[in-house]
Each structure stands twice: as structure tokens, then as C-alpha cells.
């Protein structure tokens, strides 16, 4: 998800409903990981406010860790929703607690993985992030479940587009750019579909030759 809100009044409900539908379960088990926001309590509460009415919701906190067997806990889910925030800090903390390897095992077992912003960039080899500076820059050490790179917030943050083009020209792997309220679904490491919660949402494949619009289905 290039960007998606769980706050009351959000227009992204259709995106989250679609995320749940991809599990194929009537009432799926969904876990929230909010490491990128420092396990922010308001973010966790917003997750439960939406998902607990539609799924068996839980969360994995790492700043106040209560789960011993992380691999077992994540592997028992139908879906894992990773929240936005500081991608670089999130990845460093994940590696300290073994969450990255647990997520890979869950993914290999068929658990649906997703999320907005940091929760989108993290699955790729690389991406564009504001983890280090407000001017944005490259991140090159993602979890690497998907090849290439990703850039979220492609329409809502004016520096995203030129920085992504600049970094790809400098050697960052080509990849996908997603506007807010737009999500890309991957199956077997291949792009299966792009969907949008708004009628004008866009997505692009971006490489050294420029932007290439992708087909988007409005939910």
C-alpha cells in the first residue's frame, strides 16, 4: 500500500477490506506489527478499531515484547499488517529480534503480508525512505522477499518522484511507485494486480527510462 490510513473517517476502508479478502478466510487471523512507529499506542488502537470487527486481531510489540516464540506466533496468522513509520529503524529492530526471518518463514507458509509506507517498502530489495533525512534517500537492505524497489506516497510527498528517478539513475534497482490509497498485490513474487480505494489512484513501474503507468482497478 503506497499509503493508507486506519483513522476514523479514512477513505481507505475498501483497501483494508480487500486486504482481508485476499486471505480467503471468513474471519482471518490478522497481526499488526507497529515497530516502525515505535509501537505507538494510538496506531495500535486504530488497527484494532478497524480489524477487530472483521478479524481475529492481535499485535506483536517489540518495545514491550510479550511474545516468546515470534516465528510460531506469526506463522499462525492468516495475514500480517505492517504499519508505517521509520523503515530503517524497523528493519534494524526486526533483525535483532529475528522478526525478518520469522516473516520470511510465514510468507513461505502462505501467510499474507502487507501494509502501507514502511509496511510496503520493507518487502523489497530497496526503496525510497525518509528514515535518514527529510530530503529522502535510498534504502538498500529490505527483507528482499520481492525483487526491485518500491516508492510509496508518490503523489502526496512532492520529493518522492524526483528522488526515486535520481536514485534509479544512480543504480537503485527499478521498481514500483504507488500513490496513497493504492496497493499492489503480488503472487509468487510477481505483480498480480494494482487496486485503488479512490477513482484517480495511480501506480507506475519506474526504471532508468522513466515512468510506465500500470493498470489500476478501482475497488
Q: Domains in the chain: how many in total?
A: 1
* C-beta separation of 151 from 165 below 8 A: no
Residue 69 has pLDDT above 90, yes or no: yes
Task: For cell 480505494, name the residue.
Answer: 197
C-alpha cell belonging to residue 105: 518463514
Residue 16 designated active-site: no
State the CATH number of the domain containing residue 81.
3.40.50.880
Mean pLDDT of 210-217: 98
Task: For cell 496506531, name the residue.
Answer: 43
Question: Which pLDDT belongs to residue 134?
Answer: 81
Question: Residue 186 falls within a domain, yes or no?
Answer: yes
* C-beta separation of 33 from 73 below 8 A: no
Question: Residue 140 falls within a domain, yes or no?
Answer: yes
Question: Residue 88 falls within a domain, yes or no?
Answer: yes
Question: Residue 208 falls within a domain, yes or no?
Answer: yes
Domain span including residue 57: 13-218
Catalytic residue among 117, 131, 149, 196: 117
Residue 12 has pLDDT above 90, yes or no: yes
Residue 149 designated active-site: no
Taking CA 115 as the corner, what is the angle to CA 169 and CA 133, rounded to the nearest 5 degrees? 45
Question: Residue 5 falls within a domain, yes or no?
Answer: no
| Alpha helices, H only, the chain | 13-21, 41-51, 70-75, 87-97, 99-108, 118-121, 160-169
Question: Which pLDDT belongs to residue 201?
Answer: 98
**Side-chain half-sphere exposure of 104, counting CA atoms within 13 A:** 12
pLDDT category at 133 given cuts 50, 70, 90 is confident
Question: Residue 3 falls within a domain, yes or no?
Answer: no
Question: Residue 118 falls within a domain, yes or no?
Answer: yes
In the predicted model, what is the mean pLDDT of the chain? Answer: 97
Model-wide pTM > 0.85: yes
Catalytic residue among 58, 149, 153, 196: 153
Amino acid at each position: 500500500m503506497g499509503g493508507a490510513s486506519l483513522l476514523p473517517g479514512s477513505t481507505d476502508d475498501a483497501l483494508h477490506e480487500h486486504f482481508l479478502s485476499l486471505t480467503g478466510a471468513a474471519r482471518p487471523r490478522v497481526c499488526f506489527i507497529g515497530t516502525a512507529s515505535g509501537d505507538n499506542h494510538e496506531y495500535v488502537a486504530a488497527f484494532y478499531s478497524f480489524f477487530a470487527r472483521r478479524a481475529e486481531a492481535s499485535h506483536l510489540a517489540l518495545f514491550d515484547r510479550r511474545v516468546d516464540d515470534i516465528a510460531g506466533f506469526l506463522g499462525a496468522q492468516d495475514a500480517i499488517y505492517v504499519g508505517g513509520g521509520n523503515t530503517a529503524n524497523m528493519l534494524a529492530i526486526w533483525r535483532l529480534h529475528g522478526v525478518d526471518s520469522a516473516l520470511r518463514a510465514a510468507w513461505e507458509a502462505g501467510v499474507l503480508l502487507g501494509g502501507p509506507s514502511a509496511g510496503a517498502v520493507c518487502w523489497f530489495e530497496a526503496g525510497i525512505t525518509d528514515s535518514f533525512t527529510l530530503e529522502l534517500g535510498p534504502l538498500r537492505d529490505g527483507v528482499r522477499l520481492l525483487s526491485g524497489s518500491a516508492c510509496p506516497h508518490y503523489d502526496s510527498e512532492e520529493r518522492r518522484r524526483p528522488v526515486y528517478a535520481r536514485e534509479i539513475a544512480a543504480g537503485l534497482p527499478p521498481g514500483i511507485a504507488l500513490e496513497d490509497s493504492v496497493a499492489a498485490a503480488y503472487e509468487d513474487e510477481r505483480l498480480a494486480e494494482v487496486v485503488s480505494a479512490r477513482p484517480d489512484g495511480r501506480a507506475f513501474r519506474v526504471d532508468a527510462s522513466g515512468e510506465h503507468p500500470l493498470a489500476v482497478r478501482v475497488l
